[in-house]
Structure 1
Amino acid sequence: MILLKPTILILFLLSAPQLFAQSAATKKAVKRLDEILERNKPVAEVLLLGTFHFAGEKVDENTTPENLRINMLSDERQHEIQRLVTRVSAFRPTKIAIEVSPTREKYYDSLYSEYKLGHKLAGKGIDTADETFQLGFRLAKMLGHEKIYPIDAQPFRFKLSPQDSVLTFEKFSSQRDTSYAYWQKKYDSEKRFQDTLKFRLPLNEYLQYLNAPQKRASSIGMWLITTKKGDNPHPIGADGFITRYFNRNVRIYSNVQRITNGKHERILVIYGATHMYLLNQIFTASPEYKVVDVMKYLN
């Protein structure tokens, strides 16, 4: 048993009520903040479903080797997809948002119209194994939706002057950092481990892994290694993160804002899992949305 000196004990006892009073005052202040921002009132709900690219991950740089790709059109995988869609339908989304550019909205409207009529979409320049069709179209038709909503966005980085980008990066082309190579190997190992899970686990369990908080956070880890590139006057790594990865996700969020028409909305966002860490942070911070836990729909 630890005995306090009388002077220390007296000081502690005198300060304790004040400490507790401060704690109560803080709680009261936080409660008042919630009242000011009307956090007790209904807002639009959003369900963030992070996925992998069903069509063999051929659409972006995070590709899966051909010998490790799974066939999402097989009978077994189709059964798993239908089970997942049935589970997610319990969210009762009023809108379904997909990883497609809004510039292609009319084209996807026409595809979805044909899909609802039972027409085959093969040969129309799209891959029907893609999650857009296997999850988005299938669920929208099940729920009787008139359309689905493309919300993808390109980052601001692509609008910057190519000359400025080339000159700046050339200045630091010889810059070396051993930690980058070290962590690159670690993330390559993570990717190989992830591919084995994709084969071994049922779809819902693999999506549980992709949407776990630890996995969501690791998805931006490699970006945060590269932010040290450059120097103080030219923080090209940090600027690259802001103008490319962070900026793109804020733009995606803004596209969801534009399709939200009231507090009654329940919007399902089907998107690449690597985006979910920042999208979750952004939607959680927004006073306009409530983020619904996706895990209860992945059991």
Structure 2
Amino acid sequence: MNRLLGLLSIILLATYAHAQPTPKIKILLLGTFHFGPTSDRGKTSFEDLFSAKRQQEIQQLTTQLARLRPDKIFIENEPDQQAHWDSVYNQYQKGTLDTTKQRNEIFQIGLRTARKAGLPRAICVDHIQQLPYDKIQAFDQRTSKDSVAQRKMAAYKLLSVPYPYPKKTKTLAGSTLNEYLLYVNSPAYDAGNRADYFVYAPSSGYDNDYTGVEFITSWYDRNAKIFTNILRQAEPTDTLHILLFGSSHMLPLRHYFQMHPYFEVVELADVLK
């Protein structure tokens, strides 16, 4: 009888433990711009990066981020570049790094926050995958002289509506760094990113030609691989992550994390109050 009760107790405890929800990992989506040279089509000039004013702003930002006590910081570089950034971080911690040559957000925000937070490294999770801009350009060139194709595309009324969102309304030059980062992480800015993928891209195609759809799926495919790289590094005991990536990545990545049962998205506006 005692053995039976003991067995039932073990089963009940195991069932109870299994039923307990896994605590969600909070993830701060910090969309940024590239501080230095970039091959991206959009670029924000940051000529005064090393001015006393801007360095003070970065000091303030990284202190705010470190106070969140993140378990991990994820940065926009491929996993095969991890050894490089580990070396840079090691030099930085030893005080032997020439920081005046580190013109990028990976160091200026990622590594500086990691050191303040006492982390062993910032983790590379990017996946390089070229988007098929060339196919859209080829489609535009091909159909620009094809009257039949133009008539067919003109019949898709919703795909011909004007651009529904305003162009950029704030500049870095006229803002503090925090103000500008809040802007590029705002719903209004994100709406413009959505338009690029869901208004413009689908208009490239007609009949059985889905050139624009290939562009959208390629973008989501790349970010799904970034998302997977993050999952490969996450641990159930983690409580908070910081994801430092170009702001245009945040549209699909936010969707992926919102769909995952063990993550809770944290918005930058809730941190930089």
TM-score (norm 1): 0.72
Following TM superposition, where does structure 1 have runs of at least 4 consecutive aligned residues deviating by more than 3 angstroms?
38-41, 155-158, 165-172, 175-183
Secondary structure in structure 1 of the residue aligned to 2:203: coil
Q: Which amino acid aligns with 2:124?
A: P
Tell me which residue corresponds to 1:295. Answer: 269
Residue equivalent to 1:25: none
**Structure 2: runs of 5+ lacking an equivalent:** 1-18, 145-149
State the 1:200 CA deviation.
0.9
Q: CA deviation at 1:85?
A: 0.9
Measured in 1, the distance between the counterparts of 2:174 and 2:20 equals 42
| Partner residue in 2 for 1:54 | 35
What is the deviation of 1:181? 10
Size of the alignment, in residue pairs? 243
Please state if 1:201 is matched with 2:178. Answer: no
Alpha-carbon spacing, 1:168–1:298, altered in 2? closer, same or farther (3 Å) = closer
1:146 aligns to what?
Answer: 120
Alpha-carbon distance change, 97 to 209 in structure 1, aligned in 2, over 3 angstroms: same
Corresponding residue SS for 1:132: helix
| 1:63 partnered with 2:37 | no
Residue by residue, what CA displacement relative to the aligned partner does 1:233-255 show, whole Å, maximum 9, x if unpaired?
22110121112x11111111111
How far did 1:76 drift? Answer: 0.1
CA–CA separation in structure 1 for the residues paired with 2:41 and 2:140: 25
Q: What fraction of aligned residue pairs are identical, expressed as a percent? A: 27
Question: What is the aligned partner in structure 2 of residue 7 from structure 1?
Answer: none
Which residue number in structure 2 is paired with residue 12 of structure 1? none
Q: Would the alpha carbon gap of residues 110 and 181 (structure 1) be closer, same or farther in structure 2, given more than 3 Å must change? A: farther
Paired position in structure 1 for 2:210: 235
Counterpart of 1:173 in structure 2 is: 142
Q: CA RMSD in A?
A: 3.0
Maintained 8 Å contact 2:28/2:241: yes
Q: Distance in 1 between matches of 2:245 and 2:271?
A: 16
Number of the residue aligned with 2:229: 255
| Residues 106 and 277 of structure 1, relative CA distance in 2, 3 Å threshold | same
CA drift of 1:168 comes to 11
Amino acid at match of 1:63: K
Q: TM-score, normalised by structure 2?
A: 0.78
Q: Deviations over 1:106-144 (max 9, x none)?
A: 111111111111122469xxx512110011110111122
Q: Provide the C-alpha distance between the structure 2 equivalents of 1:168 and 1:81, rounded to a whole number of angstroms.
A: 39
- Give the counterpart letter for 1:229 in structure 2: S
Q: CA separation in 2, counterparts of 1:156 and 1:205?
A: 31
Q: CA 1:87/1:166 → structure 2, altered by over 3 Å: closer, same or farther?
A: closer
> Cα deviation per residue 1:163-206 (whole Å; 9 max; x = unaligned)?
xx8699459722557877954xx87x724x34xx2111111111
Is structure 2 residue 68 aligned with structure 1 residue 91? yes
* Structure 1 residue identity aligned to 2:225: R
Distance 2:136 2:250 in 1: 32
Distance 1:172 1:105 in 2: 41
Unaligned ranges ≥5, structure 1: 1-37, 159-164
